[in-house]
Amino acid sequence: MALTSYIWELVINIVESSLLCIFLNDKLTSKTDFPLIAKILYLLGIIVSTSLLSLFHISIPIRFSLIFFICILFSAIFYSDSVSKKIIWTSIYFVICLSADSIVALIPQLFFNANTIATNAGGALRVPFTLLYIATIASFVFIFHYIKNNELSMTRFQRIIYILVCIIGFFFGEYITSITLESAEKFNDKSFTNNMILVCTIYISLFLLLLIFIYKLAYANALNIELTTKQQLFELEKKEFSNLIASTESLRQMKHELTLHLNTINYLLKESKVNDALGYIRQYLSVVDDSHHLPATGNTAIDCIISTTIPEAKSKGIRIRTSIFIPDLFPLDDLSTCALLGNLFTNSIEACMEQKASDTTIEPFIDFSIKPVQNMMLIKIDNSFNGEYKVDDQNHFLSRKRNFSKPGLGLKRIEEITAQFDGIIDINTNNNIFTISIMFPLVEGANEYRNN
C-alpha cells in the first residue's frame, strides 16, 4: 500500500475521532479538572490504536469491539455525567459508525456490483467511499444534535450487561457485513449477496431498536428515581409541617391551661398561702420545658421550627445559639420557610451527632442567624462536624447516608428553595465548621425587628 494511502487512512481516523469528540461534547458535560490537551492526547491515542489495528490486519469485528471499549474509557475519564449516560451515548455513536460502515460496504455490491477490493485500503474506490462513510457519520451526528438529552440511570449490573450486549452486537454486526462481502467475492451470486445484505440491514435495524429500547428503560428508571426523591422530600416537609402544627396545638393547650394555673395561684395568694403559691409556681416551671418558650419573631413558621429544634439539639448535647432579625415582609412563604429551616437544622443536628460519635470529648454546636444585609436577607447556619465530606464533579456535596454516591436530599431541597426565590447559596467547610449562607432579595421598604 502506497504512502499516500497510509496518510489517507490516518486522516480518516482523525476525522472519525473528532466526530466522536463532537458528539460526546454535545451530549455530555466535560470535566473541568482536565485540560483540553489531555483530551486531545487521548484522542491521538485512539487514532494511533485504530491505525495500528488496521496495520496489523486485525479483523474488523475485533477491531471495532476494542475501539468501543477504549472510547468507553474516554467518556468515563473526561465527562462528569452518570456512568449510564456516558455508556449509552458512546454506544449510540458506535451504532452510527456501524450503520455508516455497513452502508458504505454494501452499497458497491447492491448498486454497482463492484469488487470489494476496490473499496479496501489502497483500492481505487477507497477515497470516495471513505468520504461517504465520514459524511454518513457527520449526518447522523447532526441529526442527533436535535434529539433531547435526557437523564439516564442504570444499576452497575445493568451497565455491565449493556456493555457486553453492545460489544457482542458490534462484533456480529461487523461479522455479518464481512461475511456478506466475502461471499460476494467468492461465489459472485447476486441473489445470495442481496439476501445477505437484507439480513445485515435487518440485524443492524434490530440492534439499533434494542439500544433505543434500553435507552427508554434507562430514562424511565431515572424518572422513577427522581419521583422517589421528590416523594422523600415531600415526606420530610410533611414531617416538618406536622411538627409546626403540633407546636401550635401545644401552645394553644398551654394558653388554655395558663388561665387555670393563674386562678389557682390567685386563690392561694388570697388565702395568704404564700409558701404554697411559691411551691406551686416552682412545680409549674419545672414541668414547662423549653419547647414552650416560643421565640417572638412574629413569623409562625420560624417560631415553630426554632421552638422544636432547639430542645431537640439541647437534648442531644448540642450547644445552640440563635440571633434573628427578620423583616415584616418576609420573602418566603410559610411552607417554604418551614422546609428550608427544617432541612438546615436536620442536616446540622445530624452532622453534630456524627462528630459527637467520632469524638465524645468535643462539644458540638450550632449557630443560627437571620439578619438583613443591605437589600438582602441573610440566613446563616454554622455547625461543627467531623471534617469528612465528598463532592461530585459539579461540586455538589454527597450524602453520607447514601455512601457518598449521590447528593443529599435535604441539601438538594435547600438549593431548590433558594433558586425558587432568586436567592444565592454559599457553602464553606473551613476548620471543621460547615457553614451554609443563603441570601434572599428583600422587598423594598421592608422593616426589620429583632427576636428577643
What are the tens digits of pLDDT across the range 112-154? 565 555 556 556 667 777 888 888 889 888 888 877 777 777 7
pLDDT value at residue 258:
76
Please give the grid coordinates belonging to residue 35.
485540560
The DSSP string of 207-231 is: HHHHHHHHHHHHHHHHHHHHHHHHH
pLDDT value at residue 358:
85
Tell me yes or no: is domain 297-450 CATH 3.30.565.10: yes
What is the rounded CA–CA span in Å between residue 387 and residue 358?
11
| Range 395-402 average pLDDT | 76
pLDDT value at residue 291:
45
Identify the weakest region by mean pLDDT among 65-74, 167-176, 365-374: 167-176
pTM over 0.85: no
pLDDT value at residue 53:
76
Could you tell me what percent of the chain has a pLDDT over 70? 81
pLDDT higher than 90, residue 366: yes
369 pLDDT band (50/70/90 cuts)?
A: very high
452 pLDDT band (50/70/90 cuts)?
A: very low
pLDDT higher than 70, residue 451: no
pLDDT value at residue 290:
47
Sheet of 448-450: strand order equals 424-428, 433-441, 376-384, 365-373, 319-327, 448-450
pLDDT higher than 60, residue 446: no
What is the rounded CA–CA span in Å between residue 153 and residue 71?
20
Beta strands in 3-145 (DSSP E): none
pLDDT value at residue 7:
83
Burial of 403 (0-12, 13-18, 19+ CB in 10 A): exposed
pLDDT value at residue 382:
95
Cα–Cα–Cα angle for 392, 395, 397, nearest 5°?
A: 70
Could you tell me what percent of the chain has a pLDDT over 90? 12
pLDDT value at residue 437:
95
| Range 262-281 average pLDDT | 85
Domains in the chain: boundaries: 3-231, 297-450
Identify the weakest region by mean pLDDT among 171-180, 321-330, 360-369, 428-437: 171-180
pLDDT value at residue 385:
92
| Range 316-326 average pLDDT | 90
